[in-house]
Structure 1
Amino acid sequence: MATATKSGKSVVLLCGDYVEDYEVMVPFQALLAYGVSVAAVCPGKKAGEVCRTAVHYLAGHQTYSESRGHNFSLNASFDEIDHTKFDGLVIPGGRAPEYLAMNASVLDLVRNFVNSGKPVASICHGQLILAAAGVVGGRKCTAYPAVGPSLIAAGASWVEPVTMAACVADGNIIMGLPMTGIPSSSGSCESTERHHNRVKQKDPISLWDFMEDYEVTVPFQSLQALGCHVDAVCPKKKAGDSCPTAIHDFEGDQTYSEKPGHDFTLTANFEGIDASSYDALVIPGGRAPEYLALDGKVIAIVKNFMESSKPVASICHGQQILAAAGVLKGKKCTAYPAVKLNVVLAGNMVRT
């Protein structure tokens, strides 16, 4: 069972094989960051087992494409879940809801949460489960457009989404569209009692092709949900351009495997970035830092943030950039183990 956290709040995250990659990991890590305990469960599976995820994205076709995502580790057993001991339920989308909607135990769990008045957040295809559970009658609902007929047939009042970031809340049920709607869903969900202060900060995330998929999107959407303005930038690219991401996973080999991830859309131009107008910097990992560490403008931005004593958050291979910028000397650091050499050569104290 998931362990208690500082907020004292806990939620259930309903998983299944080929749940959409972002839609399971972003809420999982964001809720943990907010101090909420998360029990990630799947019918027929126990704590320690995995659900394979799916990468869905719109690439100019009439429907989304799908490829393999990460192996998402469950931390609790579905059969041990008692809804009275949790404060809310999160239902990601992907292909998993198609068969979870046929599982009687899943539908009972959803009804128990809805009828208890506790918050239930559902995204994308997750609303198929709400429709099957018979809990959307008379409620305003939205979802990935292809889910609309099922919600209407279940008696919902369908709200046509204006954008793919649309979100609708009716009573204790909060519904969003695909992964781009996660920050909006979080923002409307005050009843989840996250107990964090919304801050009007402005933060850049420094990107390059083949940043690690999670390490870009989790901070990007989590910071947005907190009320921050986030600019995602990449050298030699402009707002509206995209960076392909990489899915790094540990699957029994001596090093991680790599698969293609989502295409991440940039929100601002790299040229003209003024570090003084931002409050913090985020540096994701992946393969990109090897190349960003060679870019003089990137190094100058990192030095500016460090010299200004503004927060700089770096993960995994991102510390290669910090090492190249010469800002780690005398600092205690950690990183992905293969980056240890970069950190040590930069004159740092290493914490492993």
Structure 2
Amino acid sequence: MAGQKRVLLLCGDYVEDYEVMVPFQALLAYGLSVDAVCPGKKAGDICRTAIHDSLGHQTYSESRGHNFALNATFDEVEAAKYDGLVIPGGRAPEYLAMNGSVIDLVKKFEDLRKPIASICHGQLILAAAGSVKGRKCTAYPAVKPALIAAGAHWVEPETMAFCTSDGNLITGATYEGHPEFIRLLSRHWEPRYLVLASEFCSYVGVVINVIFIGLHKQYSKTLHHLRSCNFLLGVFFLLTRWMYASIDTVPYSAFLADYMEDYEVMVPFQSLQALECHVDAICPGKKTGDLCPTAVHDFEGDQTYSEKPGHKFTLTADFESVDASSYEGLVIPGGRAPEYLALNEKVIQLVKEFMESAKPVASICHGQQILSAAGVLKETRNKFLWAFSAHS
């Protein structure tokens, strides 16, 4: 695509699971080209990710995450050909900060004054490259001494969702701040790549509420140049189709439950939040603030996918308080959760209410088990129903 913005995503083994995939797929769905690279690896190779969670101990826990597939080769990268750099956190930055090629690459982006967005432990690389001297930045609290030693103006994170910016430099504390992190980065490019409510609401005149089982969203913008073949693209397609079909209030909904697939819940959840959506995540039998354990599903050469424990996902609303009439769309993640949600009469009734109202429904992977149980797959040409077979 002529004029398409290009972003470089700097990866390494045991990069944090969410911190690599959420910006990767979100930026793709917003219409940018994203190259994921790792020193010593080439396109098609994988980076093992790490799942970091705060479970009430003195520091975060860690477990194995997904196998993240690279789509470009590090040795072929030229900073001048990109419009921005994203540095995820996790444990990868600890050793990438000692790699001369990585440091040289970061310095080139800095010399060119191109946007650099780094999160969590990623700022260790910025410190090693001298990119934080005299600059305002934040990070995971344990990174504070290294940043101060490198001359940074440390900004204490008020919460783990805190982000800040200083010129071309965007920094965040943890993946909890992805919505603001992605939004701050996207503001460096043309509005067509991420149209904010304040810039587009007066033209479109529409408000969308999304319930992402669970999603309630205040959505006051639209998207252009959606191009990636992933679930998020489908969700955005549904949103924009609805927006152009009716200039009325538009709301959404999505079902969450124990052992939904890790990426299939967080990627659309935070990507829509980055568009200034207010998202209500709900689960039958649970309430606001409760946790849902997720599952990491990967194809690793066996006859079927493997499963590993994923992050703990925090719900943002009560299932019993949901009224389908208050929403205009439904998102259903996959994983193992749909196997038993498909047996829940309240879940089935809610899906039927969305379909009978001709409201957009986006379901991925095993989520279609719920659609099947609700009897809504018979009309496969329904323009408001999009179903997907994989999370990548």
* Same-fold call, TM cutoff 0.5: yes
* Equivalent in 163, 178, 192 of residue 174 of structure 2: 178
1:301 deviates by 1.3
Which residue of structure 1 lines up, in the alignment, with residue 365 of structure 2? Answer: 316
* Cα offset, 1:196, TM superposition: 2.9
Residues 264-314 of structure 1: CA deviation (Å, up to 9, x unaligned): 000000002011212321100000001111111111111111122222111
Cα distance, 1:198 vs structure 2: 3.4
2:201 matched residue in structure 1: none
How far the C-alpha of 1:124 sits from its partner, in A, is 0.3
Match of 1:298 in 2: 347
Change in 2 beyond 3 A, CA 1:234/1:26:
same
CA–CA distance in structure 1, aligned partners of residues 294 and 3 of structure 2: 33
Quick one: which amino acid aligns to residue 241 of structure 1? D
Q: Report the equivalent of 1:203.
A: 210
Partner secondary structure for residue 259 of structure 1:
strand
2:188 maps to what in 1? 191
- Cα deviation for residue 184 of structure 1 reads 1.2
Between the aligned partners of 1:167 and 1:237, the Cα distance in structure 2 is 30
Distance 1:76 1:195, change over 3 A: same
Name the amino acid aligned to 1:198: L
Q: CA deviation at 1:334?
A: 5.3
Q: How does 1:241-280 map to 2 (within 5 A)?
A: 241-280=290-329
The residue number in structure 2 matching 1:125 is: 121
Cα 1:32–1:7, aligned 2, differ >3 Å: closer, same or farther? farther
Q: Secondary structure at the match of 2:328?
A: coil
SS class of match (2:50): strand
| Structure 1 residue aligned with 2:72 | 76
Cα distance 1:276–1:177, how it changes in 2: closer, same or farther (>3 A)?
same
Q: Deviations over 1:48-72 (max 9, x none)?
A: 1000000000111100010000110
- Please tell me the residue identity of whatever aligns with 2:182: S
Q: Distance in 2 between matches of 1:240 and 1:334?
A: 29
Give the match's secondary structure for 1:98.
Answer: helix
> Structure 1 residues 292 and 7, CA, compared in 2 at 3 Å: closer, same or farther?
farther
- Structure 1 gaps of 5+ residues are 338-352
RMSD between superposed Cα atoms in Å: 1.4
Contact 2:293 2:311 in 1 (8 A): yes
2:69 equivalent to 1:20 = no
Asked if 1 retains the 8 angstrom alpha-carbon contact of 2:363 and 2:387, the reply is no
Q: Matched residues in 1 for 2:272 and 2:91: separation?
A: 27
Q: Distance in 2 between matches of 1:63 and 1:153?
A: 22
1:18 is matched by which residue type in structure 2? Y
Distance, in Å, in 2 between the alignment partners of 1:260 and 1:246 is: 5
- For CA contacts below 8 A with separation 6 or more, give which structure has more relative contact order: 2
Q: Is the 8 A contact 2:37 2:71 kept in 1?
A: yes
- Distance, in Å, in 2 between the alignment partners of 1:87 and 1:261 is 32
| Among 29, 49, 58, the residue aligned to 1:62 | 58
C-alpha distance 88-178 of structure 1, shift in aligned 2 (>3 A): same
- Once the two structures are overlaid, the 10-residue window that deviates more, 180-189 or 231-240, is 180-189
The answer to whether structure 1 residue 162 and structure 2 residue 158 are counterparts is yes
**How do 1:94-173 residues align onto structure 2 when only pairs under 5 Å count?**
94-173=90-169
Q: Tell me if 1:282 matches 2:323.
A: no
Contact 2:32 2:193 in 1 (8 A): no
- Which residue identity lines up with residue 49 of structure 1 in the other structure? D
Unaligned runs of 5+ in 2: 198-206, 213-254
Q: Supply the distance in 2 between the matched residues of 1:222 and 1:255 (Cα, whole angstroms).
A: 29
Q: Distance in 2 between matches of 1:33 and 1:262?
A: 23
Correspondence for 2:26: 30
| 1:235-273, Cα deviation, whole Å (9 max, x unpaired) | 000000000000000000000000000000000000020
- Paired residue total: 333
Q: Would the alpha carbon gap of residues 305 and 7 (structure 1) be closer, same or farther in structure 2, given more than 3 Å must change?
A: farther
Contact 1:201 1:229 in 2 (8 A): no
Distance in structure 1 (CA, Å) of the matches to 2:2 and 2:301? 34
SS of corresponding position for 2:279:
strand
Aligned residue for 2:7? 11
Preserved CA contact (<8 Å) 1:7 1:36 = no
Distance in 2, matches of 1:113 and 1:276, equals: 48
For residue 219 of structure 1, give the secondary structure of its aligned residue in structure 2. helix
Structure-2 separation of matches of 1:85 and 1:201: 36
Give the structure 2 partner of residue 341 of structure 1.
none
Q: Distance in 2 between matches of 1:168 and 1:63?
A: 23
Aligned-pair CA distance for 1:137: 0.9
Q: Deviations over 1:102-136 (max 9, x none)?
A: 01110111111122111111000000000000011
How far the C-alpha of 1:202 sits from its partner, in A, is: 2.1
Query: Is the partner of 1:47 in helix, strand or coil?
Result: coil
